[in-house]
Every structure is written in C-alpha cells, then in structure tokens.
Amino acid sequence: MSALFEPYTLREVTIPNRIWMPPMCQYSAAPEGPSVGAPADWHFAHYAARAAGGTGLIIVEATAVSPEGRISPYDLGIWNDTQAEAFRRITGFLRSQGTVPGIQLAHSGRKASTDRTWTGGAPVGPEAHGWQPVAPSPVAFDDRHPVPSELTVEEIQRIVARFADAARRALAAGFEVAEIHGAHGYLINEFLSPHSNHRTDAYGGSYENRVRFALEVVDAVRAVWPQDKPLFFRISATDWLEDGGWTADDTVRFAAELHAHGVDLLDVSTGGNASSVRIRTGPGYQVPFAARVKAETPMPVAAVGLITDAEQAEKIVANGEADAVLLGRELLRTPTWAQHAARELGGSVHVPEQYHRSV
C-alpha cells in the first residue's frame, strides 16, 4: 500500500490517510452582531468540499479564544456557545465523509486587528471593528503595526484559561483533534522567541521562562481535552534570524518537552515572527525541520511547505521524514487532491457515492 494512504492512529482517533489540510484563514466571519466569529455558509462549503475530496484530516483555520485574539475582525472564534454550536454543522459533515475534524485554537497577539489579506492586511482601528493588540512586550511587529500593550501576569493567566475554555467548546462542537497555534509570530510564538519577548519576569529572559506560557497553555488544554483524543501543537521551527531568534535547536529541545506534557504531534512550519526576514522557498523547503524533530525526539510530526505533487508527498512519508503531510495552497486549488493522488499511487480513498462516476 502507498504510505500516503495508510491510516494513522493517535490515541484512539484513526485518521484514514496522511493527506491533511492545515489551518488557512478565510477572513469570512461576521465582524459584529450575534453571529460574530461564527462559521457561515462559506466555511461549510469550503471545508465540506475538501472532505468530499478525500482529505484525511481537516484542521479548521485559526480560531480565536477571545475577541482580541483574532487576526482580523473577520476571523472565526470559539469564545462563546453560539460559535461552538455553529461549528457542529461542519464537524458533522466532515465525519460523514470519513474525515477527522480538527480545530486550531489561537491568539494572534501583536499581529492582531488587521484587515483581510486581499485588501492589504493593514492594521485597522475601532472605526473598522479593530482593537488594541497585546503581546509579551511592547514591541511592534513592523513599522505598520501599532505598539502592543504588554500583558500583565494576571492577563497572561486569563488567556491560559481562555484556551482551556475554547478547548471545552471545541469538544462540544464535535472536533476530534485540537491544535494549539504556537507559530507564525502570533502570541505563543511571540513568547517563545527572544526576538519578540523582552520580558524580565518569569515569562521572559531564559529559555525556560520563554516557554513557560506555551507549556501552561498546553497543560490547561490537555487537562480538559479527553485523554482519548490527540492534541497537536503548531510551531515555527525557526525565526530565520542569524542571531537573537528562535532556532531549530530550540525546537528540537521544546518538542521533547511538549511530548512530555501530552502533545501528540508537532505541526512543523517556520517563520512569521520577524518582519525583515526574506525566506528562500522551494519544494518541501520546510520538511527538513520536521524530519529533524522526528529523528531526534519521540514526537510524531507533520510536514508543510510547498508540497504539491503525489510522488513528493509519498516520499516524505515513506522515507520517514514525517508521519503526514499538510497541503495548503494545493488543497485550495484542488479540493479533490487526495483522490487524484490515490489514482496516481494506487491508493484507496473516500469518494462520495454521488460521485461514483468519477472513479
């Protein structure tokens, strides 16, 4: 059998194949009113199409644990029961297609309160549903972004509790995998990296202090997330800075600690925390970071980064570089990518009965 189409079990959840969809913001939720932050028709159609296309696991886009944790006013949230109930339509359909529904729980920190990406993504103020961002330190992401408010210890603890509350609601909404967003320059990543964390208290300075917030969030979520369901953590394996940033060595060290705290898989990406960095990309350019974590720690990993064709994805899994692949832009272009890959590799994948003529 093709390695890409072997089922994969974490705890007591079995994912039917190794073709997974990563979180990708749609910026399509209501910015205000009774349905603020709740998934709507666009979200249902978007995720349903990829499930009908055979994707094994779909991780719903960054979903904010609080209103100020959104990247934009148009982001999804799961800080209230109305939002959680609205997700049930999506999770129910995904399960009906054999797809495992996952959700990424997020807080955007200093990169919050921006417009939609297709209108430029510039910071927005109260006149456009915006708000004051918060961060570990009063250091702006770049010249466009405002200086964020430095979080107090009491505020940090409230955010930890928000993650736990969001995990409870995600369970009630029917999700089977929860992922904590610790990547791409958002709040948890900001605490991890000395580039953005200039604190001098128990949450800054040393490596041990900078990982404290992340581990507190993991412990809080793991305490309420069922023991039979897996917990993922998405990380930026490097800031791509020559000095003064989070490094691949830090990631390997941290992966082992996350595993000890009950994280079941590391979703390995890179970058997003240093605005001046220009990353040289290419096919599979982030896969070596996942492969190193897999080789040097007990942590299972998923790989991302310009994975576009079936043979490439097959080799990543078959060679043991990662346990699964996450296809972002490629699944935006081709919702039925898994079915095409199955035909190419001789694998077996779900095809809806309504589409039997396509087989």
- Give the CB-side neighbour count of residue 113, counting CA atoms within 13 A: 25
DSSP string of 313-332, one letter each residue = HHHHHHTTS-SEEE-SHHHH
Of 27, 74, 186, 203, which residue is the catalytic one?
186
How far apart CA 258 and CA 214 sit, in angstroms, is: 9
What is the separation of C-alpha 44 from the centre of its chain, rounded to a whole number of angstroms?
18
Is 186 marked active-site? yes
Taking a C-beta distance cutoff of 8 angstroms, is the pair 164, 223 a contact? yes
Tokens of 357: 């003529």
Six token digits for residue 87: 């997700």
Which H or E element spans position 95?
helix 81-96
Contact present, 262 and 222 (Cβ < 8 Å): yes
Instruction: Centre a 10 Å sphere on the Cβ of residue 144 and count the other Cβ atoms it contains.
Output: 12
**Pairing mode, strands 8-10 and 13-15:** antiparallel
Q: Which residues are catalytic?
A: 186
